Amino acid sequence: MIRVASIGECMIELSQASGALLSRSYGGDTLNTAVYLARLGVCIDYVTALGDDPWSEEMVRAWEAEGVGTGRVVRVPGRLPGLYVISTDAAGQRSFHYWRDNAPARLLFDLPETPAIARALAEYDAVYLSGVSLSLYGEAGRARLFAALDDARAHNARIVFDTNFRPRGWPDRAVARAAFRAALARADIVLASTEDLTLLFEGDGLAELPIGKARAEVVVKLAEPAVRIHHDAVAQTIIAEPVEAVVDTTAAGDSFAAAYLAARLCGASPADAARAGHRLAGAVVRHRGAIIPRAAMPKFADIPYLRGQPS
């Protein structure tokens, strides 16, 4: 069975309910992708650090209920998970306000358990991380992460990097650019967006991508609802089907990444994998929140071995 590790952070989420009330949930880019990978039948472990508090315990139980493996979750006594408050405008676009400087996830590559976590990454068929994942760790932590990725790659794991750049997570763009370049140099599959690339590199961000590099597979999310895939010296554009009544764009990119990666790992072509990504993302944006009801998961009967979901 194909096994995937997803590295990152999950936080407590507070969103506007009725009146002055807030609704509590949880979320994080790589966690969202992990949940959708599990729903699509992929054996996925989430790699992070949490506290020993009731909210951390609640998160772990919820992930396990979704089929996400929690054996790589390190618990740090006395620390609390990060927290963010969200607001959504009339077009479904969200804004975020964070409290996460002391979150345990930031310590993942600076703990006594770090060497064991690093060694474990070599046991997976693929390791998934994002630009947000990179922003969690300091220079020393990122160096340990990159060394672990090198070791995993040497053991034939595929490194999957989603650019997902969030400026507030970085002290300055120079540090972010160096970290992104280091991740891109190691990535076998890159899930990028023109928005991220422009925001981070300001000039020709596409030139930073490993397009044409041996083993590299690059998927660029365009400004319009489409992706441009560069793989085996072939470039092709896959357009998404129109989506009516967008409710919430949260996790559109995360769910695309999950369906694309699940499809590719089960042997689908890049084009079919992109169509699967568009299909899942199109379902996700029709619902509020990052994780949609199981009954709303689309079918994937046209992609061999990719599990369809019950209606």
How many C-alpha atoms does 191 have within 13 Å on its Cβ side?
A: 27
Rounded distance between C-alpha atoms, residue 200 and residue 298, angstroms: 33
Helix (H) or strand (E) holding 219: strand 217-221
Amino acid letter, residue 48: T
Which residues are tagged catalytic? Answer: 254
Instruction: Answer whether 270's CB lies under 8 Å from 217's CB.
Output: yes
- The per-residue b/e assignment along 134-151, b for 16 or more CB within 10 angstroms, e otherwise, is bbbbeeebbebbbebbee
Pairing between β-strand 43-50 and β-strand 3-7 as defined by DSSP bridges:
parallel
Q: What SS3 state is found at 87?
A: strand
Query: Which residues have CB under 8 Å from 57's CB, separation 6+?
Result: none
- Which 3-state string (H, E, C) describes 128-147? EEEHHHHHHCCHHHHHHHHH
Rounded CA Rg of the chain: 18
**The pair of three-digit structure tokens given for residue 72, joined into one six-digit string:** 């790589």
Angle between helices 29-39 and 54-65 (to 10 degrees): 30
Rounded distance between C-alpha atoms, residue 92 and residue 116, angstroms: 41
Closest CA to 12 of 56, 42, 46: 56
